[in-house]
A and B are shown apart, each in its own frame.
Chain A
Amino acid sequence: MKNRSLILLAFAAIFSSCTKPAGYGELCVKIDYSVNGKALVTDSLCYTNAAENTFLITEIQWFLSRIELQDERGDWFRLNHKDVKLPMAHTTDWVFYVDSNLPESQTLEAAPLPVGRYKALRFTFGLNEADNQSGLFSNPPEANMFWPEPLGGGYHYMKLNGKYLDEDGQLVPLNVHLGIGQNEDHSQFYQNYFTVEMPIDFTLTENAKNQLDLTMIVDNWFRNPNLYDFNEWGSAIMQNQAAQQLLKENGNDVFMCKQSIENQDSIAMNNEEENGNPLEMFNNTMQKAAPKPHFWSWDSVKQRLGLFKENCKNRS
């Protein structure tokens, strides 16, 4: 019995230390952004969307969670934060915050994964209903993403802030804030997160610094299948489920992934189709979550605040 405990302790120590066990490789996911085919330059009024709005982007702050790689046998392996110690049980272990203002947040360092070849990547854009609980994060910058309890609670999936030239040629604020939506009379809440899944051809090796590059093609939020005209939808869409729904559907082809060119000889792009159109090459499949209505009332707000308090208690 004593021996068994010692073995378990040793096993935990191996996993919780900085060194990775044999047969495992380190992996990071590097996030970047492209707009109109070029790398994002913030606060530069040089972009045009499909609706021909001229716009600039000041910042993009967002969550992605439950990132998983699928090996050749079909098993999925979840990426947790590199510094996560066993036992891995807390939601924040698999939720990643990315902020264009914070360079360090652009590289997601994951705990070691088994070496081998992986054929698919999937992740949740934002947080799913189970993960998206108020009080999950107490520290900034994540805490600054909170989504108010009366609007459904939890966190913004994304804040994309910038400005655009309106029909009168004036530069006006642009806020694309995604999260839990509501219908027009505030009687229902809608979960607007979605799952992005894409094929990849990626080999994780034991001794290399393995890297995947995940790009958000920002202009695709406003293109396909729904034309998203800033003059029509403007800003302040947190309480506008129609706008949220359009963007959720447009999330279909916003992301692309490739194995880092810096560390590997060959680039593996996802879903290489014969037509070679880069926008269509990445045929992400989106598993839309069925909207789950909640009755909006002060009782439901109080209930969510109760949950929030409960989370706080658990955290302390």
Chain B
Amino acid sequence: MKRIWGILPLLLLCLLSCHPEHEKPYQPKPYELPKPSYFPSLTNIPADNPMTEEGVALGRKLFYDPRLAGRDTKAGITCCASCHHQANSFEFGAPTGTHHAMLPLVNLAWNTTGLGWNGGVNTLEDMVLAAVTSPVEIDADTLQVVRFLQATNDYPPLFEKAFGSRDITFFNIERAIAQFVRSLVSSDSKFDRYLRGEAQLTQDELQGYLLFVTEDGADCFHCHGGGGNALMTTHLFYNNGLDANFNDPEDRSAITGNPNDRGAYKAPTLRNVAVSAPYMHDGRFQTLDEVIDFYSDSVKNSATISPLMHHVMQGGVRLTAQEKSQLKAFLLTLTDETFLNNPNYAAP
């Protein structure tokens, strides 16, 4: 008799934990972010949006789906992929027609300083909302987008797998796309392989790297990283001497309120820089050669120029034609063909 009393609670527990097949508890599979050991060990993933296989897959589908605009048209900008092209490191690869150029979507799981040229957008989730509703981007109404997707056959079950409910919310649309964007990892450029001991740089590329990381050379590394910071950016904000006067109301000072931040913008990653023209916050340079020429010969002094632009009184770092060529050769080693052609990042 005593034995029965011992078994009874176990039986009850079993009965309570048994679900019919269609009531399987929501159990998405955690997504393993692939990264080399020399990348930062800490990621910037919001606690309320952990990455899951299902969430990333849903985000990828939404990223490429014109139905994200919530309307029956494929004309114009209808989804993220309308402007964010994988071949261009997930930026446009051409002038956008707006006053700010685009920034590539690469390795943003490690970005810690806000998004956009002035860092004014806190999270990728917020960025999705901004892009979907912006009149110069997707220009959609979030309620309409939700209704549109809810009425489809394919999306409700995918939202259920990713977030545990067939009821679509814009919050979950934001979360899914943000998860996909965080999954975009570039870590297989020639320079990566060099760091891993899998490839050797040519003499010109090595000389270019030497210029990249020396103050007496081109001194790019203080803002754009290198062997010790393979993200190839500090993610910080600098006035790099593009102009002497400033009239952009959306520079870094718009966010900090600090007048010393006039003319300062985020240092973008140089990964895939060869395929992510145009350059600078306003897209004023179309080629890498123009960028190198600027840093060599045309840097302008101003009251708010970054102290790191120490060559400003000479107008720039004053590279010879050969040095410019070597610096460019190194920058080309940052192109990551594996990333640019990764089928997991392409349209599903």
Contact = CB atoms under 8 A, between A and B. Distances in A.
Partners in one complex: yes
A239 B216 contact: yes
A238 B39 contact: no
Contacts of A315: 37, 41
Contacts of B313: 166, 170, 172
A138 B303 contact: no
B38 A138 contact: yes
Contacts of B235: 140
B21 to A, nearest CB: 40
A134 B227 contact: yes
Interface in B195-232: 195-197, 206, 209-210, 213-216, 219, 221, 225-229
Interface in A144-162: 144, 146-151, 155, 161-162
Interface stretch (B12-20, B304-312, B334-342): B304-312
Nearest to B223: A144
A173 interface: yes
Contacts of A251: none
A88 interface: no
A139 B38 contact: no
B310 A306 contact: no
B42 interface: yes
A interface: dominant SS: mixed
Contacts of A58: 260, 307
Interface in B232-248: 234-236
A151 B222 CA distance: 14
A3 interface: no
Contact of A150 (B39, B210, B308): B210
Nearest to A239: B216
B229 A175 contact: no
A145 to B, nearest CB: 8
Contact of A173 (B195, B196, B309): B309
A138 B226 contact: no
Interface residues of A, number: 42
A126 interface: no
Contacts of A305: 195, 227
Nearest to A313: B37
A236 interface: yes
Contacts of B228: 134-135, 143, 146-149, 155, 308
A306 B196 CA distance: 9
A83 to B, nearest CB: 14
A102 to B, nearest CB: 12
B37 A312 contact: yes
Given A149-B227, A239-B216, A171 B310 contact: no
Given A174-B307, A236-B310, A309-B197, A135 B38 contact: yes
Considering residues B38, B41, B260, B303, which has the most beta carbons from chain A within 10 angstroms of its beta carbon?
B38
Contacts of B227: 134, 146, 148-149, 305, 308
A58 B311 CA distance: 17
B30 interface: no
Nearest to B260: A43
B301 interface: yes
A236 B216 contact: yes
Given A143-B229, A146-B229, A161 B307 contact: yes
Contact of A239 (B42, B214, B260, B306): B214
Interface string A115-132: 000000000000000000
B40 A140 contact: yes
B112 interface: yes
Contacts of A150: 209-210, 213-214
Given A148-B228, A170-B301, A313-B37, A236 B215 contact: yes
Nearest to B210: A150
Given A134-B228, A143-B228, A173 B310 contact: yes
Nearest to B312: A173
A260 to B, nearest CB: 30
B37 A162 contact: no
B307 A309 contact: no
Contacts of A308: 38, 195, 227-228
B186 to A, nearest CB: 16
Contact of A309 (B112, B196, B215, B216): B196
B40 A298 contact: no
Interface of B: 36-42, 112, 195-197, 206, 209-210, 213-216, 219, 221, 225-229, 234-236, 260, 301, 303, 305-313
22 contacts: A43-B260, A134-B227, A134-B228, A135-B38, A138-B39, A139-B40, A143-B40, A144-B234, A146-B226, A146-B228, A148-B226, A148-B228, A162-B307, A171-B303, A172-B301, A172-B310, A173-B308, A235-B215, A235-B310, A236-B310, A309-B197, A313-B37
Closest 4 CB pairs of A and B: A146-B228, A148-B213, A316-B37, A235-B310
Given A43-B260, A144-B236, A161-B307, 15 more contacts: A146-B225, A146-B228, A149-B213, A150-B210, A151-B213, A173-B307, A177-B215, A236-B219, A237-B215, A298-B206, A309-B38, A309-B195, A312-B37, A312-B38, A316-B37
